[in-house]
Amino acid sequence: MRILNAIALCGMLLFSFLQAHAQEGPPVPTPMGTLQAAHPRLFVHDSDLPAIKARIAADPMEKAEFDRIHARAVSLLTEPPERFQLGGPRPTLLPIAREMEGRIITLSGVYRLTGDKRFADRAIAEMLSAADFPDWHPRTPLNTAELTAAMGIGYDWLYPVLTSGQRNVIRQAIVAKGIHTFFARIDRNQMHYRNNWAQVIYGGHTVAALAIAEPDDQASMERAEKVIGYSRPGIELVMKLFAPDGGFEEGPVYWDYATIYNVLYITALDSALGTDFGASKMAGFDVTPEYEIQATGPSFEYANFSDSHAEAGLSSQMYWFATRFHRPAYAAYERALMQSQKANGKLNTSFFQHARFEMIGLFWAAMTPEWKSFQPLPEVESFARIQQAYMRTSWSDPDAAYIGFKGGEAGVSHGHLDLGSFVFDDLGQRWASDLGPETYGVPDYFGKLRWTYYRTQTRAHNTIAVDNSNEDTDGLCKIIFAGSVGKNKFIVADLDQAHKTKLQSWKRGIAILGNRRVLVQDEISPSKPVELVWHLHTFANVEIAADKRSATLRIGDKTMRAKIITPADAHFSIAPPPVLKPKETPNTGVTDLVIDQPQTSTSQTIAVLFSRKGDNKIVHLKKLADWSKK
């Protein structure tokens, strides 16, 4: 679950994407007259290579990254090419396709930088193996899209050293096993994706179509024009979801997956045709990396709401975003994440789930300006369309306090019934955790059984469960206020529509107070007698005090204290472990610290204060409506 293989087992076949019901229209007319005739034409031209090589030689971090990628390429020289094999709980080719994608990009990129033909020959062997597959498993179009893109990149980057016979075999495979399946889905009206699938499928096929188009081959030019003509409106439709401020409702893991293919699509068009037809100028796209960065805590763990794992992964496209939109903070973040992973021994991986685009990332990093300074992102930021908010006490302190807050719509792609939930970091540790996704291979995870699994349910999140039931599947949570007042930082949210038949109103506020205490305050008015259970899931060791009004959380030598401020009759307890279905993931090491308020019908405030060891200052509560006032 810590690798993007979780994405691959994307058995999201019925749930994780939404389709419109209108018939697919004709492709948008797309001029191909500006196609660069020479290869390589995708992403990085040969004329760019001298400056890239000089930058790698001069920059110690980029030199170290090249050395690591080069070592991986050397190790691949003695490995046999991948063979056709379906695997996983729902048979898929995607793990194989991604491994091959990483191999082809890495080997061909190292060849371009070194001129060592061993790497080109090994990449060609991988491509010929893929060409020999019976198909690229078009039943799940992500399989086909990723392998089609990989083959297109390899074909273009290695074009000068491919024999005419090899070109013909690879080109025919791209057309028959990739692009023709893309057209077949369009003919069957199956290409109306409204989530990350759109960027991957449209982007992957656009990359390949541009790779194999030739100005003196009318059929290939018409084919590329048709692929791009269908992809332009498809990509632009899903890119509208980045507006107005770059928020991404599917979470940080799927942000990385969607945007890398979105950027590959744009840069393929730019480098091959000299235009992206305005895609990069769509509202919110220039600032969408801010969402990914804000959704990552000081210790480089994601605020992993919904189907996201906690460990942050590298996003090669950050360097492209930094250069294209003149935002050095994006590149600085990616470099800091890489340094953190290197320090923690997490950079080297034998599987390309995280690392398959690092070769392209190295090219982009070496083409990024060397900024001497940059303006950090805001310490408090909210995202309007997805209704999520994030706040921290510092961008430079790894021990900073950090809150990620989950609002928005309950029923979004990859969503959980977790409105009002939060993660909380301090002292370099995560004290309030999200358990992340259930294994994608459990029965009907993206269908009618989704809400029967513990990890998708309300009680599995750091929010309030009402009558031990889930939030409404069409529930809403809106951010009322996110900002700073004096030395304090606040998020206040309206959860009135989370349990529509049971609660008359519910407001939740989370504050980081000036001396880094964290206050979680709920104001609730039930519509009828209900049981309210306040949940906090933590991997810390938990010791509840004798009066049950406070609890001590310990992780290693770090300590955090939780104290109930109100109600006066509330007590902490530890919930018994949930009864799980046979294939559900055990929640090893997790403690569910709860406050149980049974059968209450009166309005009440539940307030819990988190503070570091030795901080005994008294907190005077204010109404949430007054939090934004000085």
**472-485 burial string, b = 16+ CB within 10 Å, else e?**
beebbbebbbbbee
Q: CB under 8 Å to 329, separation ≥6 — which residues?
A: 293, 322, 374, 375, 376, 377
Q: Which phi-psi region, left, alpha or beta, contains residue 486 (left: φ > 0; alpha: ψ -120 to 50)?
A: left
**How many whole angstroms separate alpha carbon 223 and alpha carbon 179?**
9
Query: What's the average model confidence in pLDDT over 131-156?
Result: 96
Through-space distance between the first and last CA atoms of the chain, rounded to whole angstroms? 44
| pTM of the shown model | 0.93
Q: Write the CA distances from 494 to 391, 521, 576, integer angstroms.
A: 18, 12, 30
Q: Is the pLDDT of residue 24 over 70?
A: no
**How many whole angstroms separate alpha carbon 76 and alpha carbon 523?**
58
For the CA atoms of the chain, what is the radius of gyration?
25
Q: Which phi-psi region, left, alpha or beta, contains residue 306 (left: φ > 0; alpha: ψ -120 to 50)?
A: left
Question: Tokens in use for 283?
Answer: 């509202």
What pLDDT digit, counting tens, does each position of 251-299 carry? 999 999 999 999 999 999 999 999 999 999 999 999 999 999 999 999 9
Contact by Cβ (8 Å): 584, 454: yes
pLDDT of 6: 36
Q: What is the DSSP letter of 349?
A: -
Query: What's the average model confidence in pLDDT over 103-115?
Result: 98
pLDDT of 5: 35
Instruction: State residue 150 phi and psi, 5-degree precision.
Output: -60, -45
Of the chain, the percentage scoring pLDDT greater than 90 comes to 85
Q: Where are the alpha helices (DSSP H) in 40-195?
A: 49-58, 60-76, 94-114, 117-131, 141-157, 164-173, 180-187
pLDDT band at 191 (very low <50, low <70, confident <90, very high): confident
- Of 12-21, 117-126, 235-244, 497-506, the poorest mean pLDDT is in 12-21
Mean residue pLDDT across the chain: 92
**How many whole angstroms separate alpha carbon 172 and alpha carbon 295?**
42
Q: Hey, what amino acid is at 227? A: V
Find the helix or strand (DSSP H, E) in which 430 lies.
Answer: strand 429-432
**How many whole angstroms separate alpha carbon 432 and alpha carbon 620?**
23
pLDDT of 343: 87
Q: Hey, what amino acid is at 437? A: P
* CA-wise closest residue to 307 among 200, 432, 460, 448: 460
Strand order through the sheet with 572-574: 464-466, 530-538, 591-600, 572-574
Q: Is the pLDDT of residue 378 over 80?
A: yes
pLDDT band at 348 (very low <50, low <70, confident <90, very high): low
Question: Tokens in use for 456?
Answer: 């998708």
Q: Write the CA distances from 148 to 88, 267, 535, integer angstroms.
A: 21, 17, 45
Q: Is the pLDDT of residue 551 over 90?
A: yes
Go through the chain and tell me how many residues it has. Answer: 630
pLDDT of 17: 37
**How many whole angstroms separate alpha carbon 411 and alpha carbon 386?**
12
- Of 253-262, 344-353, 481-490, the poorest mean pLDDT is in 344-353
Q: Is the dihedral of CA 147, 149, 151, 157 positive or negative?
A: negative
pLDDT band at 541 (very low <50, low <70, confident <90, very high): very high
Query: What's the average model confidence in pLDDT over 505-526?
Result: 95
Q: Write the CA distances from 446 to 1, 91, 146, 428, integer angstroms.
A: 17, 15, 22, 34
pLDDT of 472: 96
**How many whole angstroms separate alpha carbon 401 and alpha carbon 392?**
5
Bond prior to 582 in cis (omega within 30° of 0): no
Q: What is the DSSP string of 555-607?
A: ETTEEEEEEEEE-TT--EEEPPPPP--TTSPP-TT-EEEEEEEEEE-S-EEEE
- Of 237-241, 375-379, 418-422, 511-515, the poorest mean pLDDT is in 511-515
**50-74 burial string, b = 16+ CB within 10 Å, else e?**
eebeebbeebeebeebbebbbebbe
Mapped onto helix, strand or coil, the DSSP state of residue 527 is: coil
CB atoms within 10 A of CB 450: 18
Query: What's the average model confidence in pLDDT over 197-214?
Result: 97
pLDDT of 189: 85
**How many whole angstroms separate alpha carbon 626 and alpha carbon 432?**
26
pLDDT of 91: 81
Query: What's the average model confidence in pLDDT over 81-108?
Result: 91
Of the chain, the percentage scoring pLDDT greater than 70 comes to 94
pLDDT of 546: 98
Question: Tokens in use for 204?
Answer: 């992957």
pLDDT band at 63 (very low <50, low <70, confident <90, very high): very high
Mapped onto helix, strand or coil, the DSSP state of residue 554 is: strand
pLDDT band at 613 (very low <50, low <70, confident <90, very high): confident
pLDDT band at 354 (very low <50, low <70, confident <90, very high): low
